[in-house]
A and B are shown apart, each in its own frame.
Chain A
Amino acid sequence: MSNFIIPNLQKEKIESYLKEGKRLDGRKAEEYRELFVEDGVSENSASAVRVRFGKTEVLAGVHLALAVPYPDSPDSGTFMTSAELHPMASQQFDIGRPGINSVELARVIDRGIRESGFIDMKKLCIKEGEKVYQVFVDIVAINDDGNLLDVAGLAALIALGRARMPIYNEEEDKIEGYSETEKIPLENDVLSFSMTFHKVGNVIVADVGHEEEAISKFRLTVAMGDNGGVPRITAMQKGKAGTISSDDMETILKLAESKWAEMFPKVKEYVFK
């Protein structure tokens, strides 16, 4: 009753094509779909962008609000990521409470941004122990044609990269719109982005379409940042029930390094535009 039942013959065909280094849409195993980025989805927030890989589309927006800091870090802003894999985007997503897929997606992206220190939280403190900015990243899936993880992850980074600083009215203690010129404080040097690789048949595949995603044995998301021109791993998440052999790991890491070298300049350009 869903489009996600993949017939055996389709699975066999996808796998046999991959043995010859081909995919049904004509791409090579490690090739990403065309990336599309659009700004200005909502001018009521600090930023809001639309990001597409092929037909997979995600909106991401950033909001800043006033908050009380956590007692253990009284001089730091706070941060939260939420994701809605809305039933609008796929027949697979349910109506109602966010499912485990939304929660995992939001948590993986949240950790990646938080742990890398990409947002300079100290600069988001207004008054120590009393008032800080809380940064919200909200992700809404519009159309799922596979690899929402990478599309959403990139959308979150681009939205943060373009997020404007709020204008704080101290007297009335409220935010009055966003600055035209000032962006939120980011540690540009620690930017890292994630790439998800799936094992489909016997081949490691990048940027899966939804059929490949449905039949893959496992996925491994690798986030990498720049360490003096050399990629450095900043976060990982393995998904699905399959296990990773040493050879697979070797292949994925090599692929991740070469894809990172190819894509990082482009990602940087989009994020810090």
Chain B
Amino acid sequence: MGEGIYTKREDGRAFTDVRSMKANVGIVPSADGSASFETGKTKAIAVVRGPRTLHPQHMQNAQTGILRVSYGMMPFSVEDRIRPGPNRRSEEISKVTEWALSSVVDLSGFPNTVVDVFVQIPQADAGTRVAGINAAALALAHAGIPMKEMVSAIGVGKIDKTLVVDLDKFEDSVFHDGEGSTDIPVVVTSRTKEIALLQLDGKISVDEFKQTIEMAKKACDDVLKVQIDALKNMSEVKDE
């Protein structure tokens, strides 16, 4: 590392540093579970409704409840306004988020039902899917949904020749010099430390890839700390 042209991050972070994070639980009173998660300027909110009866009936599963995720960016979250409603990108992110969360959620006690997770991004500065997953895991826990463990998410990658953690928008989509930018969103389970989501977009050697995964696992420990803190110090909890 360090031989390339990307030698310094604009915001002064070390290459292995995550941006400052903030999490809150219980932000939407009418929901069964809700949470927000911020990484730098990227903000995500997640709302859980359910378990509730799944309609239409033919989609029900008599053996287990179903997790259904809907991810979306608010129109004003980015510089070029996004039309409200689903698009190809949001549908794909919804699905990979659903898989990541399903790996730890156990809905076998709620046959024929659905648990809906709504993830919305009010402000984006790269890493919206990982922020969304961090918020969604918190909201599911807050909804009292049975979960074997938590999941934590982070973006890692390579900027020219430099391996980095928690890419911001410049690193993710503006930087094109040298070997360009490689973006790897990763979700790690909190106890078993396995990978629940992995996507990669760019060019990276096998060795470098292995390194980034180790970096992601370390960073996810930091994310998990923030998540646990939010759950243990939920604003309505008052221990005296």
Mask of A42-53 contacts with B, CB within 8 angstroms, 1/0 = 111100100000
Mask of A108-139 contacts with B, CB within 8 angstroms, 1/0 = 00000000000000000000000000001010
| Contact status B78-A44, CB under 8 Å | yes
CB distance from B238 to the nearest CB of A (A): 20
Contacts of A30 in B (CB 8 A): none
Q: How far is the CA of A86 from the CA of B122 in the complex (A)?
A: 13
Query: Which residues of B (28-57) have their CB < 8 Å from a CB of A?
Result: 28-31, 41, 43, 45, 47, 49, 52-53
| B-binding segment of A54-62, A217-225, A239-247 | A54-62
- Pick the residue among B31, B70, B81, B123 that contacts A136 (CB under 8 A): B81
CB distance from B194 to the nearest CB of A (A): 30
Interface size class of B (residues with CB under 8 A): 20 to 34
Q: What is the count of residue pairs linking A and B with beta-carbon distances less than 8 angstroms?
A: 93
| Contact status A145-B30, CB under 8 Å | yes
Asked if A205 is at the interface of the complex by the 8 Å CB criterion, the answer is no
The DSSP consensus for interface residues of chain B is loop
Asked if B152 is at the interface of the complex by the 8 Å CB criterion, the answer is no
Mask of A16-51 contacts with B, CB within 8 angstroms, 1/0 = 000000000000000000000000011111001000
Contacts of A86 in B (CB 8 A): 118, 120
Query: Which residues of B (73-116) have their CB < 8 Å from a CB of A?
Result: 74-81, 84-85, 116
Mask of B221-240 contacts with A, CB within 8 angstroms, 1/0 = 00000000000000000000
Asked if A273 is at the interface of the complex by the 8 Å CB criterion, the answer is no
- Pick the residue among A1, A59, A84, A142 that contacts B84 (CB under 8 A): A84
| Contact status A61-B76, CB under 8 Å | yes
Asked if B138 is at the interface of the complex by the 8 Å CB criterion, the answer is no
| Contact status B76-A97, CB under 8 Å | no
Interface size class of A (residues with CB under 8 A): 35 or more
CB distance from B87 to the nearest CB of A (A): 14
Contacts of A95 in B (CB 8 A): 70, 116
Interface residues, chain A, with chain B CB atoms under 8 Å away: 1, 3, 41-45, 48, 55, 57, 59, 61-63, 65, 82, 84, 86-91, 95, 97-98, 136, 138, 140, 142-145, 175, 177
5 tightest CB-CB pairs across the interface, nearest first? Answer: A61-B76, A138-B75, A45-B76, A42-B123, A88-B118
